[in-house]
Amino acid sequence: MKVTALVPCYNEESSLLTILEKLETLDHIHEVIFVDDCSTDKSHEIASNFRSEKLKVFKQTHNQGKSAAINRAMKEASGDVFIIQDADLEYDPEEIIDVIGPILDGKADVVYGSRFMVKKAARVLYYYHFLANKFLTFLSNVLTNLNMTDIETCYKAFKSDLVKDFEITSSGFGMEVELTAYFSKMPLRIYEVPISYYGRTYEKRKKIGMKDG
């Protein structure tokens, strides 16, 4: 199965080259769709100058948020399996194989990489952030009747034919909940696998507030 990494990006010049280099070395990644959400730094330049037969670079006409960038990436991608990879270094591309593994093995249709199934490394950061994630996951579970541990995770892998007619309608970071709700409406085999999480401090990370929640 051909695997496509969907890489939304906004102002990640400090980590982007490392992410692209890691994805380039992975034999199980056949295509990388990079969508720049009108970055004001050198992110688009870095991606455009990166030499790779896997990489396809696109730029939004104006800043629209992560959901719109993923929408664009899914339309431009050609793989049988999609996995979302943020352009920061909070998630290690080396662990992509763990996330897509159940799909490639024919056991799953959708796989989420969970930061809270504690079997790998996770940086200790903010308890309130943990509570917010837990609350959103709890609320999603109540409404979808799924027993998920981490719906806000970046690492979501799914068969591409599941989203060929799907349009994300939410804005900002709303796609995390919307995709989960969408998958819950179908008779799919949904799995979670433990992943590492190298979170950034509030000073370094994107500012996600109550409105996003």
Q: Is 46 helix (H, G, I), strand (E, B) or coil?
A: helix
* Cβ(195)–Cβ(87) below 8 Å: no
pLDDT tens for each residue of 7-36: 999 999 999 999 999 999 999 999 999 999
Residue with tokens 């981490």, as numbered in its chain: 150
156-167 mean pLDDT: 95
Take residue 9 and report the two structure tokens written for it: 């990006």
Question: Whole-angstrom Cα distance, residue 88 to residue 52?
Answer: 19
150-156 mean pLDDT: 95
- Cα dihedral 156, 42, 20, 52 sign: positive
Cβ-based neighbour number of residue 96 at 10 Å: 23
pTM of the full structure: 0.90
Residue-level pLDDT at 11:
96
Contacts of 9 (CB under 8 A, 6+ apart): 16, 34, 35, 36, 37, 39, 43, 47, 69, 87
Sorting pLDDT into bands at 50, 70 and 90, what band is 205?
Answer: low
First to last CA, the chain: 35
